[in-house]
Every structure is written in structure tokens, then in C-alpha cells.
Amino acid sequence: MSKKKYIQTSLRCPDAGLEIIEEKDDAMQTRVLCPYCGQETTVGETIMISGFVGCPACYWDEKDGLRVTVERVKEKCYGDYLAGNFYRNGYKNWRLKKDE
């Protein structure tokens, strides 16, 4: 059984990271799984917002995308966001409906 390799992406949330699918000599071309939506991407294509990493497919999603989720949490749960609960609890637990 082989051990999975990860690239740590956040000091606030050490368990968050990019699962490596295929390492390349050029680190930016290393194939990884997006920790937000699970889609395969490269390290060089990832986008970070407030310490969380996503791929272009989920970052720009206007309904449940990473950018929209972070913006909603900052607006509606700023105390939790500021205290770091957003990082500790994981962004998937903070997906909020637009009308909440």
C-alpha cells in the first residue's frame, strides 16, 4: 500500500493540502487533486483566496465556488472567519446559500 503525498497549502489548516497525482520535474506541472472540488489540475493552475486553494473550475463557480464561499463567510460569519474557524472547520462546511 503506497502512502499518498500532499503539498501543504495552509499553515492555519495543516490538514488541508493538494493530493499529488503525478510529480513532474517542473513543480508547476505537478498534477494534483483540487481540495475544494476534487477535479484534477496542475499546481500552476491553482488559485488561492484567504489561505484556501482551488482550481479554475471551482474558484469561478458563482453558486458554490471557492471565491463565493469565502466572500459569504467573511460577510455573514466574520467573527468565525477572523477567529480562524473557517480554516479549522474546513471550507466545505461553510458553503452557504446565497439567500441566507
pLDDT tens string 17-53: 788 899 999 999 999 988 888 899 999 999 988 877 8
- Is the per-residue pLDDT at 65 higher than 80? yes
- Sign of the dihedral through C-alpha 67, 74, 11, 85: negative
pLDDT of residue 21: 92
Phi-psi region of 90 (alpha: psi -120 to 50; beta: other; left: phi over 0): left
Model pTM score: 0.72
pLDDT of residue 14: 57
CA distance 99 to 89: 22
pLDDT band at residue 97 under the 50/70/90 scheme: very low
